[in-house]
């Protein structure tokens, strides 16, 4: 059930105003060397998709039914470097993309959420070389908002998550 719970959290809203947290101060956080290092990892992975083996899977989970699709991108050493999830229900949908470094540690997460009331939300989370949160920023792009919040933790074991899209019990 863990993943079903996660899928619900993925699909539900964020604060109505910009929300940021983490260990990097707000002033000029985007130019901080640790943030630039994370962006370099993301850009390297996205610029060279040919270096990765892509696997995909999908499932329909629980009631109410949630459709989940997933894509796992592994490097030549077998380490997952990128993991993309998309899920949806009758009133909302969202996706999350996680990026991992050459040691398999999560370094960046980008999530979007959309609801039938016109709400569009996004969140970015940056992690240091040990997987500790550096900075998280959420914002509402459109609409009145949608209740509840974001997942607190990123997916740290994407291969296991990929193997259990509806949760470990399913």
pLDDT tens for the chain, 170 residues long, are 344 334 433 433 333 333 445 567 667 777 888 999 999 999 999 999 999 999 999 999 887 788 899 999 999 999 999 999 998 888 888 899 999 999 999 999 999 888 888 888 899 999 999 999 998 888 888 888 776 555 668 899 999 999 889 876 43
| 7's tokens | 């899928």
Nearest to 125 by CA among 110, 139, 114: 110
Beta-bridge partner residues of 61: 66
Q: What is the pTM of this model?
A: 0.82
Please state, in angstroms and rounded to a whole number, the distance separating the CA atoms of residues 103 and 78.
11
* Residue 72 near residue 157 (C-beta atoms within 8 A): no
Please state, in angstroms and rounded to a whole number, the distance separating the CA atoms of residues 148 and 14.
7
């Amino acid at each position: 059930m863990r993943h079903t719970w996660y899928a619900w959290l993925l699909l539900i809203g964020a604060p109505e105003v910009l929300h940021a947290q983490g260990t990097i101060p707000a002033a000029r956080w985007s130019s901080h060397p640790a943030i630039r290092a994370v962006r370099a990892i993301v850009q390297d992975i996205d610029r060279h998709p040919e270096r990765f083996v892509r696997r995909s899977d999908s499932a329909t989970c629980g009631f109410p039914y949630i459709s989940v699709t997933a894509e796992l991108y592994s490097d030549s050493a077998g380490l997952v470097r990128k993991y993309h999830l998309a899920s949806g229900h009758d009133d909302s949908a969202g996706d999350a993309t996680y990026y991992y470094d050459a040691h398999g540690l999560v370094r960046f997460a980008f999530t979007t959420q959309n609801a039938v009331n016109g709400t569009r939300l996004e969140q970015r989370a940056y992690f240091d070389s040990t997987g500790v949160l550096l900075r998280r920023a959420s914002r509402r792009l459109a609409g009145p908002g949608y209740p509840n919040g974001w997942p607190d933790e990123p997916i740290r074991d994407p291969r296991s998550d990929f193997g259990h899209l509806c949760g470990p019990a399913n």
